[in-house]
Structure 1
Amino acid sequence: MNAQIQKLYSKAAKPERLIIGLMSGTSMDGLDIALCSVSESGADTNIQILKFKTGEYTDDFRAKIKAVFSKKEVDLQLVCLMNEHIANTHAILINETLAEWDIKNESVDFIASHGQTIFHAPKSLHQLADYPNGTLQIGDGDHIAIKTGIITLSDFRQKHLAAGGEGAPLAVYGDYLMFSKAGEDRVMLNIGGIANFTYLPGNMDAGAVFSTDVGPGNTLMDQYMQKHFNQFYDKNAAVALRGELNPQLLSALLDCGFFGLDFPKTTGPELFNLEYLTEAQETSSTTNISKENVMATLCHFSAETIANAIKRCFGVDAHAQVFMSGGGMHNPLLVTLLQKKLPFCNFLTTDDLNINPDAKEAVLFAVLANETLCGKPINFGDRKGVPSVCMGKISLPE
């Protein structure tokens, strides 16, 4: 047997595995690095976050990602180069972080890398009859494995596509394993660039679990802040709180076929971008309203789409335990609006479930890697969008 395969086998067979989960989302605020201790698999999975850090991106690196991000037409040479550049940068951040934590690379068993999404193209968005669902994450796993010396699992979304899914959202798998509780219906709401949630029924029936994107979380607000205020995001909703809701603009923003599609569904900045906002402003004759009013309305837009989706699942008087994660949970206006729109829901964060909400997405990929290494596909039933598969390609460091 190849020595590297033997090493993979031996590490997968350990009773407790140290796995680094990595996440770099559409917000591009940095690389989330979560060092996790994982034992067992499936419904018996036991995971503990040992260390967590967000490795900061430089403005130059972030600009380079944006040059290839969510564009139908892009320099193909640049995409090719960024596949390697992102992986090399992530490897450097991992090595620096492990040194900072005084942890030797060889003591880590696996890395689970999401990569950087640069384009998401489900059929519902591209509308091209001859083509399948598509998505592309770059940041090559082989480069990370070689430069860290750690076996790396990456490119998780392609198996989901191959098995009939849309490549997203993948939270359904990790949420079910980490957060299901008998006797309690839960909603795991992640408000990243795009907002999505997972429904976890209290009867523990995996066949009833589903995860879906619902619309924009932070992406439109972040894009608008970057263009008009030269700020990466609206910290503490300072700008939005100075503005007022414009009902005409909100109505135009909500006028989109995506919101009428059945669950589960996926979307991204390929749809919800500044061009989308401009069209809505022109349609509603609101091109001259103040930038603060635009930001306030965009925040209401995100809250409205999230609340409408939860009501669609649980009724107008929705009663649910809603556990939040993602950057949007730090937006006080957005959270207040959600509480007003869903008065019978109880809003908490995954901190209440002993998982740092800022680390949750990175931890998810550590869980997915653990299932690929040590588990087996969970039977989610024969349902569209939730294929019962294990995910991730394996890269060996030698």
Structure 2
Amino acid sequence: MNTQLARLSAIAASSSRMIIGLMSGTSLDGLDIALCEFSGSGTDTQVKVLHFTTVPYDQSFKEELKSISFKSQVSLQRLTLLHAVIGRRSAEMVLTTLKAWNFPLENVDLIASHGQTIFHAPSSLHQLADYPNATLQIGDGDHIAVRTGIITLSDFRQKHIAAGGEGAPLAVYGDYLLFADATENRILLNIGGIANFTYLPGGMKPDAIFSTDIGPGNTLMDQYVQLNYPGQYYDNNGAIAVQGTISKTLLEALKENEFFGYPFPRTTGPELFDMQYLREAQQRSETEFLPAPDVLATLCEFTAWAIISAIRKTVPDQTFEIYLSGGGMHNPLLADKISKGLALTLKTTADLGIHPDAKEAVLFALLANECMAGGNSNFGDKNSIPNITMGKISLPH
């Protein structure tokens, strides 16, 4: 047997696995790195997050990523080159971070890399009858494996699409395996660039799970800040928006999109919710000359409305708790709007034992653990939650 395949077999058969999860979201701000120790699989999964950090991207690299992200036309040469560059950079960040943690490289069994989403194209968005759902993440796993010497799993979303899903959200797998409870009804609300949530009714019944993208999370607010406040990438603590006044006419125009009439579950991305989306809403509502704080206040209200209305439409009328993760949880203005709109106090996944900033990186480490040692979880016959093993395997040599 090939020695690398023997190594894979030994990892799968081991009582525990040391896995690094890597996540870089649509905000393009940096690479989340979580070092996790797993034992078991499926609903018996146990995880300890030993270390977590976010390695920020420098401004020039952010601009390179922005130049090819969420656009229908980009430089094919730059896209091809960045596929390799992101893989190499991710590897170097892992090596540097392990050294800073004083954690031996040889003790890591696997790396699970989400990659950088460049374009997300569900059929509901591209509306081309002869084409399927599609998505693209770059950051080649072979580069990570070869440069670190660690077996790497990557490109998780393709299997989800191949099995009939839309490639997102994938959080439902980790949410169920790590956070489902025998008695408490839980909503795991992630507010990244795009907001999504998983509803986990008490009782650990996988066929009762519901998971969907909602619509804009931070993406419109972040893009607007980057366009109008040079050197800033987001509205820190909602400090700009809190100075503004909500424009009801702009708010209503922002709501006027067929996406919000699509049935749940659904998926979307910054390809829809971008500055063109905002400009068109401002033109329709004749609000092109609103002061920037007023626009941000309205975008924050729009995001809160999308989240609140999605939960109200899809979650049965019963008691539940909401556990937040994602960058939007750090915006107190947004969090307060959601809390008041749903009339409950928001918690975070820290209350369930996982740091909310680390949650998505931990999720992909969990998917790698399932690929190696699990694969037996059954979510019923739902197209939106296919029963699959995800991740392409890259061997170091």
Is the pair's TM-score, using the shorter chain for normalization, greater than 0.5?
A: yes
Secondary structure, in 3 states, of the residue corresponding to 1:379? coil
CA contact 1:109–1:150 (8 Å) conserved in 2: yes
1:274-313 mapped onto 2 (5 Å cutoff) = 274-313=275-314
Q: State yes or no: 1:365 paired with 2:332.
A: no
Q: Does 1:348 align with 2:334?
A: no
Q: Deviations over 1:131-187 (max 9, x none)?
A: 000000000000000011100000000000100000010001010000000111100
The structural deviation recorded for 1:318 is: 6.1
Paired residue for 1:235? 236
- Cα distance between partner residues in 2 of 1:243 and 1:92: 42
Query: For 2:31, what is the secondary structure of its paired residue?
Result: strand
Amino acid at match of 1:391: M
1:62-211 → structure 2 map (5 Å cutoff): 62-211=62-211
Alignment partners' CA distance in 2, 1:239 and 1:321: 29
Q: CA deviation at 1:319?
A: 3.5
How far apart in 2 are the matches of 1:377 and 1:197? 23
Q: Which is worse superposed, 112-121 or 369-378?
A: 369-378
Q: Do 2:301 and 2:334's aligned partners in 1 also have CA atoms closer than 8 Å?
A: yes
Matches of 1:262 and 1:43 in 2, distance apart?
A: 29
1:395 aligns with 2:394: yes
8 Å contact kept, 2:11–2:372: no
SS in structure 2 of the partner of residue 287 of structure 1: coil
Matched, 1:273 2:277: no
Two-structure CA RMSD over aligned residues (Å) = 0.9
Alignment of 1:260 with 2:265, yes or no, is no
Q: Judge conservation of contact 1:30–1:55 (CA < 8 Å) in 2.
A: yes
What SS does the corresponding residue of 1:113 show, helix, strand or coil? strand
Residue aligned with 1:54, SS: strand
The match for 2:379 is 380
Question: By how many angstroms is 1:105 displaced?
Answer: 1.2
TM-superposition CA deviations, 1:206-234 (whole Å, max 9, x none): 01112110010000000000000121100
Rate the CA distance shift 1:241–1:157 in 2: closer, same or farther, 3 A.
Answer: same
Q: Provide Cα deviations, 1:37-57, integer angstroms capped at 9, x if missing partner.
A: 000000000011000000111
Counterpart amino acid of residue 308 in structure 1: S
Amino acid of the structure 1 residue aligned with 2:347 = L
CA–CA separation in structure 1 for the residues paired with 2:146 and 2:129: 40
Cα distance, 1:257 vs structure 2: 1.1
Secondary structure of residue in 2 paired with 1:73: coil
Give the total of aligned pairs. Answer: 396
SS in 2 for 1:17: strand
Structure 2 letter corresponding to 1:290: P
Q: Distance in 1 between matches of 2:59 and 2:91?
A: 18
Secondary structure of the 1:146 match is: helix
User: Shift of the alpha carbon at 1:204?
Assistant: 1.1
Work out whether 1:220 is the aligned partner of 2:223: no
Secondary structure of 1:38's counterpart equals strand
Report the equivalent of 1:22. Answer: 22
> Which secondary structure does the structure 2 equivalent of 1:26 belong to?
coil
CA contact (8 A) 2:199 2:315 kept: no
Aligned-pair distance for 1:11?
A: 1.7
Residue by residue over 1:211-260, the C-alpha shift from the partner in whole angstroms, topping out at 9 and shown as x without a partner, is 11001000000000000012110001110011011000010101111111
Which amino acid counterpart does residue 81 of structure 1 have in structure 2?
Answer: L
Taking the aligned partners of 1:236 and 1:309, their CA distance within structure 2 comes to 24
- Check whether the contact 1:320–1:346 (CA below 8 A) recurs between aligned residues: no
Contact kept? 2:185, 2:319, Cα under 8 Å: no
Gaps of 5+ in 1: none
User: Which consecutive aligned stretches of 4+ in structure 1 deviate over 6 angstroms post-superposition?
Assistant: none
In 2, are the aligned partners of 1:311 and 1:318 still within 8 Å (CA)? no
Q: Distance in 1 between matches of 2:114 and 2:212?
A: 18
TM-score, with length taken from structure 1: 0.98
Q: What TM-score do you get using the length of structure 2 for normalisation?
A: 0.98
C-alpha displacement of 1:106: 1.1
What secondary structure is seen at the aligned counterpart in 1 of 2:215? strand
Structure 1 distance, partners of 2:287, 2:214, is: 25
Cα shift at 1:261: 1.2
User: Cα deviation per residue 1:339-381 (whole Å; 9 max; x = unaligned)?
Assistant: 11111x3410001011000000000001111001000242111
Cα distance in structure 2, aligned partners of 1:392 and 1:314: 30
- The alpha carbon displacement at 1:16 in A equals 1.2
Separation in 2, partners of 1:307, 1:277 = 20
- Residues 1-55 of structure 1, C-alpha deviations (whole Å, 9 max, x = no match): 0011011111221111100001000001100000000000000000110000001
5+ residue gaps in structure 2? none
| Matched letter for residue 3 of structure 1 | T
Displacement of 1:205:
0.9
For structure 1, which segment, 151-160 or 318-327, has the greater mean C-alpha deviation from structure 2 after superposition? Answer: 318-327
Query: Retained in 2: the 8 A contact 1:225–1:233?
Result: yes
Q: Which residue of 2 aligns with 1:314?
A: 315
Query: Which amino acid in the other structure matches residue 44 of structure 1?
Result: D
- Give me the whole-angstrom Cα distance separating, in 1, the residues matched to 2:229 and 2:65: 20
- Provide the C-alpha distance between the structure 2 equivalents of 1:218 and 1:352, rounded to a whole number of angstroms: 23
